[in-house]
A and B are shown apart, each in its own frame.
Chain A
Amino acid sequence: MSHLIILPIVLPLAAAVILLLARFGAFTRRLLALIATGALLITCVMLVGKASQGEVLYYALGNWQPPFGIVLVLDRLSALMVTVTAILSMGCVIFACGGDDEKGSNFHGLFQLQLMGINGAFLTGDLFNLFVFFEVLLLASYALLVHGGGRDRIQSAVHYAVLNLAGSALFLIAVGMLYGATGTLNMADMARAVSMMDPERNGLVVAGALMLLVVFGLKAAILPLYFWLPRTYASAPAPVAALFAVMTKVGIYAILRVYSLIFGNQAGSLEALEQPWVWWMALATLVIAAIGVLAARDLRLLVAYLVLVSVGTLLAGLGMHSPQATSALLFYLVHTTLVTGGLFLLAEMIGLQRGKAGTRLVKGRIPTHATALGLLFLLGAIAVAGLPPLSGAFAKAMLLAAAEGVQRAWLWPPLLVAGLCALIALSRAGSTLFWRSQESDNADDQLSGWHWAGTAWLLIASPLLVVLAGPLATYTEAAAAQLNDPSAIIQALLPTEEDAP
């Protein structure tokens, strides 16, 4: 048993404790945060190396063997997710060093705690432990959201906190129901229990499972549950908003993990019980998000709606329920997380340069570094709208190709129209910001090298993903195949079981 698997949780925890307790100067804090995030990135890359060999590895906490103890499970999917988080957080930390971290107290400590929660949620193999890590990441995110203060932030934080507290209550009810019906909390063991369950208990399990879908849908921002997202993301401090780009993906990941493992192909009549809900909600989310993108009058709000478009797209991939679609959605997930994160950072940079106008899409003064910012904006816009030659086009083409039969007729129009809406809105925003503005001479340069480095780190990911498209697609295909065969995880975790009757 290797201790490497628990490092993505322990590293941020240790860094957070040091950062929160010790009284360092700003320089030491930043250095520590950068070192911790860098170490996390290296660990995650090593984890991907391990996971790509195709074996499911687990770490039994306190050496309590599954199904009795809590386990962390490392397969291709979880390794991919922690790595994406680490890459994204590196960009956010670098950007925050440009000055955002000193606008309130304890930014870096809270940031590390949030990373711990996110990584834990990606790695855990226990349903209740998933709840605990959700709470860790939520509590850190409430505090990060109000970092720096201000009316907008406080108000959206109230909505966000109340909604998520209600969501947590639902999560507990759902976990309780599933425990009552199956007698276990370990996801692999639960999958086995569901496959051998007395049909009398089906109702209880279905109720619990669909209630879980509501909770994950709230985190992922599916249609009737997304109303908190645009305002929250638009008002959050830029590095936090960029990190939040991965928070919706936590919800997507949880749906993918729970329903592919517990309600996978061994679950009999309960197989894929979430599929119709996810599919139709995904399409509706896409349509609403496309309208939101067109209606947004603020660059940050626009990017927040682009996050929503990506949620709709990812969920549509989930709803198709085939290994090809899962592979395509994982590719899209990597692309969209990094690019929307980068766009949040870029929006903040542009806002800083425009004085009073900020990120609102009105005539203002031309940003000082108009050429460089404009080029970065062009790069981000092309990537996020899904135009060739950048990664968005690849990801979307894979998703479109994965749709079969009737699905094609339902998926293609909303997905392509959403891309068109994003293109229209982004070109309108770009021309307002960079061309329809007046020159002014009192330009003050508020951007530091940190800002440029953080934003470029995330946006460069898109061309890089094109270069690495081959290996990444091979990896996501293998991950999808692994997800499609839940018995592999069950066998790895519970090897002593007699084969199910």
Chain B
Amino acid sequence: MELLYAITTGVLSASGLYLTLRGRTFPVVVGLTLLSYAVNLFLFSMGGLTSNAPAIIGDSSHYSDPLPQALVLTAIVIGFAMTAFAVILAMRARGDMGNDHVDGRKAEDRGERR
């Protein structure tokens, strides 16, 4: 399970990073979303991966760490709000600037640079 988990997190963050470095706002927003998924997975794994165990410290000696789960919940909520804001900001930038490039360049400038 650890291997699968690590590969998933790695692939997610690699694609997120790649997309974040793109020049247009939509891939950037998707990239940030993927990155936050990867981070959530990573955070979750930091208490150690345990299967079939309750998240409460009770009498049993076999339990999973509850704290990362709480942290992930918080991180998900915050990430959600941030993504919503980034989408609105990107749409506003598209409207004000006339294109969806993160630097707000005009189409002809972009053609030259490429």
Residue ranges of A at the interface with B (Cβ–Cβ < 8 Å) = 128, 132, 135, 139, 142, 146, 149-151, 154-155, 157-159, 161-162, 165-166, 168-169, 172-173, 175-177, 179-180, 185
24 A-B pairs with CB atoms under 8 Å apart are: A128-B74, A139-B81, A139-B82, A146-B89, A154-B89, A154-B97, A155-B97, A155-B103, A157-B89, A157-B93, A162-B28, A166-B20, A166-B32, A168-B78, A168-B82, A169-B38, A172-B39, A172-B42, A172-B43, A175-B71, A176-B46, A176-B71, A179-B47, A180-B46
B70: nearest chain-A partner, CB-CB: A128
Contacts of A176 in B (CB 8 A): 39, 42-43, 46, 68, 71
Residue B30 interfacial (CB < 8 Å)? no
B25: nearest chain-A partner, CB-CB: A158
Give A151 to B101 CA distance when docked, in angstroms: 13
Give A175 to B78 CA distance when docked, in angstroms: 15
With A132-B78, A158-B102: A169-B89 Cβ-Cβ less than 8 Å: no
B103: nearest chain-A partner, CB-CB: A155
> Across the interface, do A169 and B35 meet the contact criterion of CB distance under 8 Å?
yes
> Across the interface, do B96 and A162 meet the contact criterion of CB distance under 8 Å?
no
> Across the interface, do A132 and B74 meet the contact criterion of CB distance under 8 Å?
yes
Give A162 to B92 CA distance when docked, in angstroms: 14
> Across the interface, do A169 and B92 meet the contact criterion of CB distance under 8 Å?
no
Per-residue contact bits, chain B 67-79, to A (CB 8 Å; 1 contact, 0 not): 1100100110010
> Across the interface, do A158 and B90 meet the contact criterion of CB distance under 8 Å?
yes
> Across the interface, do A158 and B93 meet the contact criterion of CB distance under 8 Å?
yes
> Across the interface, do A142 and B85 meet the contact criterion of CB distance under 8 Å?
yes
> Across the interface, do B85 and A139 meet the contact criterion of CB distance under 8 Å?
yes
Residue ranges of B at the interface with A (Cβ–Cβ < 8 Å) = 20, 25, 28, 32, 35-36, 38-40, 42-43, 46-48, 67-68, 71, 74-75, 78, 81-82, 85-86, 89-90, 92-93, 96-97, 102-104
> Across the interface, do B78 and A135 meet the contact criterion of CB distance under 8 Å?
yes
With A162-B28, A165-B32, A172-B39: A151-B97 Cβ-Cβ less than 8 Å: yes
The 7 A-B residue pairs with the shortest CB-CB distance, nearest first, are A180-B46, A176-B46, A176-B43, A172-B39, A155-B104, A169-B39, A169-B35
Contacts of A172 in B (CB 8 A): 39-40, 42-43, 75
A153: nearest chain-B partner, CB-CB: B96
Contacts of B90 in A (CB 8 A): 158
CB distance from B42 to the nearest CB of A (A): 6
Give the interface SS of chain B, mostly helix, strand, loop or mixed. helix
> Across the interface, do B104 and A161 meet the contact criterion of CB distance under 8 Å?
no
Contacts of A179 in B (CB 8 A): 46-47, 67-68, 71
A135: nearest chain-B partner, CB-CB: B78
Contacts of B97 in A (CB 8 A): 151, 154-155
> Across the interface, do B81 and A154 meet the contact criterion of CB distance under 8 Å?
no
> Across the interface, do B102 and A159 meet the contact criterion of CB distance under 8 Å?
yes
B41: nearest chain-A partner, CB-CB: A176
With A139-B85, A158-B89: A169-B36 Cβ-Cβ less than 8 Å: yes
Q: Which of B20, B39, B86, B93 is within 8 Å of A173, CB to CB?
A: B39
CB distance from B6 to the nearest CB of A (A): 13
Give A77 to B68 CA distance when docked, in angstroms: 30
Give A392 to B25 CA distance when docked, in angstroms: 42
CB distance from B65 to the nearest CB of A (A): 9
Give A418 to B46 CA distance when docked, in angstroms: 44
Give A110 to B93 CA distance when docked, in angstroms: 21
Contacts of A185 in B (CB 8 A): 67
Give A139 to B79 CA distance when docked, in angstroms: 11
> Across the interface, do A151 and B96 meet the contact criterion of CB distance under 8 Å?
yes
> Across the interface, do A154 and B93 meet the contact criterion of CB distance under 8 Å?
yes
> Across the interface, do A162 and B67 meet the contact criterion of CB distance under 8 Å?
no
Give A158 to B92 CA distance when docked, in angstroms: 10
Give A176 to B40 CA distance when docked, in angstroms: 9
Given contacts A158-B25, A158-B89, 14 further A-B contacts (CB under 8 A): A139-B82, A142-B85, A151-B97, A154-B92, A157-B93, A158-B93, A162-B28, A165-B82, A166-B35, A172-B39, A172-B42, A175-B71, A179-B68, A180-B47
CB distance from A155 to the nearest CB of B (A): 5
Give A302 to B68 CA distance when docked, in angstroms: 44
Contacts of A161 in B (CB 8 A): 85-86, 89
With A179-B46, A179-B68: A162-B74 Cβ-Cβ less than 8 Å: no
A180: nearest chain-B partner, CB-CB: B46
> Across the interface, do A142 and B46 meet the contact criterion of CB distance under 8 Å?
no
> Across the interface, do A154 and B102 meet the contact criterion of CB distance under 8 Å?
no
Contacts of B78 in A (CB 8 A): 132, 135, 168
Give A155 to B94 CA distance when docked, in angstroms: 10
Contacts of A165 in B (CB 8 A): 32, 36, 82, 86
> Across the interface, do B103 and A146 meet the contact criterion of CB distance under 8 Å?
no
Give A173 to B13 CA distance when docked, in angstroms: 11
CB distance from B24 to the nearest CB of A (A): 11
> Across the interface, do B92 and A146 meet the contact criterion of CB distance under 8 Å?
yes
CB distance from A6 to the nearest CB of B (A): 19
B83: nearest chain-A partner, CB-CB: A165
Contacts of B104 in A (CB 8 A): 151, 155, 158
Contacts of B86 in A (CB 8 A): 161-162, 165
Contacts of B28 in A (CB 8 A): 162
Interface centre among A159, A168, A175 (most CB of B within 10 A): A168
Contacts of A150 in B (CB 8 A): 96
CB distance from B39 to the nearest CB of A (A): 5
B104: nearest chain-A partner, CB-CB: A155
CB distance from A154 to the nearest CB of B (A): 5
Contacts of B39 in A (CB 8 A): 169, 172-173, 176
Give A158 to B35 CA distance when docked, in angstroms: 17
A184: nearest chain-B partner, CB-CB: B67
